[in-house]
Amino acid sequence: MVGDGHVEKRPKDKKKKTKKKRGGGKKKMTAEQSLAFNSVTEWVYLDQSHSSSSSEDDFGVHQILNRAVDNNVVFELHSHSNFSDGYLSPSKLVERAHCNGVEEALTGEQPSSYIFGLSSEDYTVHIIALLICLLFHILTSRTGNVKLLVKVLALTDHDTMSGIPEAIETARRFGIKIIPGVEISTIFSQRGSESEEPVHILAYYSSCGPSKYEELENFLANIRDGRFLRAKDMILKLNKLKLPLKWEHVAKIAGKGVAPGRLHVARAMVEAGHVENLKHAFADISMMGDMHTPHETDYKVSVCCGCRGSQPLAEVAVELIHRTSGLAVLAHPWALKNPAAIIRKLKDVGLHGLEVYRSDGKLVGVIFTLQDGSLFSLLPLTVLFAYTDLADTYGLLKLGGSDYHGRGGHGESELGSVKLPVLVLNDFLKVARPIWCGAIKEILESYADEPSDSNLSHITRYGRGKMLKRNYPLNCGKGLVDECLSLWLTNEERQSAEFEAIKLKLSHVSINQGGLNVPIESV
């Protein structure tokens, strides 16, 4: 009963005190981002609906059902091991990605460039826009600690894929997928010009590698031979400059079977006491440069620090990556003297993308698009230009990676430190997966037409150990497609008419524990 003296008590509007988290609140995904995230994680993790406990993909990666998917799934698309100029073995590289290469101060999807379409009439507007960009960069650099889980690691050694099997074997223990990759050393020279510059092209392949492995390997071997030549020339020049080095010393630093490069020569100079550190060594090596006249051939006698060796033209490398069913991406374009011309030329021959995202703490600049279509920048030459605009202009994927070498020191980015936006990852996989699916189909068809040990090795090159450790022979019609390669592909891809036809062709062949082909009737 409500009387005259009764006062209804109303709850007080007390504002809940919430402690602000350092680094800002977590942003909610948009519908587009959610769809992209689901698509990416579907590829990263297995579809485990067919298993009651755990499953193993074509990499041998064990995945447990009912796992909690972290919103920060990181793709590291640029890394090096000691099979080229990295310091860590492929095994140690994978361990670092799992153990301590995953803690970085990041806010999430940090922009690496800020692009404005402005007219050239009012440069005051340009200056204001630039100041806004710089302020925005400073604000987005105030970060908290976010744990990043490296789930996909591309090993992209210079001119070799020899470290891939070791990386995959180790990655199985940590639930990390390895994208077989390589960074190809090339040369770009405009027609009619005597100048040339080095260009590095990243290639990303499917779980069983390039579709025409021998063609790619011969191509890379020719480049590696040129590296041996250049390294010996560097030593000869250094000896003439009264900085004696022995070839055996450089070869030992490089390691067995590794083509020596500038880094190995520089390390030998430091160890010999000729210079204090690698920076001084590289400076001395760079002073040995000289000029030569380029030749219009597929391979150029290139000069690297004054030392000649065979390197292919960049456009030839991109065309080869296409032929061998890989994804071609221009590495660190900000290091190029003439990026626009190079990107335009490589796009014409099939370039898929270029690196845009970085994490070395440097602002990747601001570019203004003028009314006449030209690019205008207010930044000094010491500040790196943005390449987002060029990627958009030519319809290229915008990618990036840490370019991790394991040298240590303040200036090197850590594994997993370049956190690509989920929309970028989704775009990458949308382009890459049909190419990789085609590669798998081509390799399987080649084996179905001629079931030899040689063709079998193409399929099991990066998964042979897992396959042959089984306690039973594989029926190739089901075993090779379903067990060895299937979980790289979607159910729809696996059940396509092309793969069913391959299964039928392989139904009479099996593999024993030695990896030999035998008729299934005799097994």
* 315-332 pLDDT tens trace: 999 999 999 999 999 999
Q: What is the mean pLDDT of the chain?
A: 73
* 19-66 pLDDT tens trace: 555 555 567 889 999 999 999 998 988 544 444 344 455 444 444 333
Using the structure block, give the residue that is written with the tokens 């024993």. Answer: 512
- pLDDT of residue 342 exceeding 80, the answer is yes
pLDDT, residue 511, reads: 65
In angstroms, the CA 188 to CA 503 distance is 44
In angstroms, the CA 195 to CA 10 distance is 81
E-strand ranges in 259-341 read 299-304, 307-312, 327-330
Q: What is the pTM of this model?
A: 0.73
- pLDDT of residue 464 exceeding 50, the answer is yes
Q: Identify which has the larger pLDDT, 258 or 302.
A: 258
* 296-308 pLDDT tens trace: 334 443 444 434 4
217, burial (CB in 10 Å: exposed 0-12, middle 13-18, buried 19+): middle
Residue 184, C-beta contacts closer than 8 angstroms, at least 6 positions apart: 159, 200, 201, 202, 203, 220, 223, 312, 317, 321
DSSP string, 429-455: HHHHHHHHHHHHHHHHHHHHHS--HHH
User: How far are the Cα atoms of 189, 230, 416 from residue 301, in angstroms, in the given order?
Assistant: 12, 10, 36
User: How far are the Cα atoms of 59, 88, 91, 96, 324 from residue 167, in angstroms, in the given order?
Assistant: 10, 11, 5, 12, 21
DSSP string, 380-405: -TTSPPP-HHHHHHTT-EEEE---B-
- 3 state DSSP class of 73: strand
Region of 422 (left: φ > 0; alpha: ψ -120 to 50; beta: rest) is alpha
pLDDT-wise least confident of 175-189, 304-318, 450-464: 304-318
Residue 220, C-beta contacts closer than 8 angstroms, at least 6 positions apart: 159, 160, 161, 182, 184
**In angstroms, how far is CA 287 from the centroid of its own chain?**
31
Region of 419 (left: φ > 0; alpha: ψ -120 to 50; beta: rest) is beta
Q: Does residue 267 contact residue 278 with C-beta atoms inside 8 Å?
A: yes
Q: Identify which has the larger pLDDT, 337 or 232.
A: 337
* 1-11 pLDDT tens trace: 444 455 455 55
* Amino acid identity, position 140: T
pLDDT, residue 513, reads: 55
pLDDT-wise least confident of 84-93, 127-136, 137-146, 452-461: 137-146
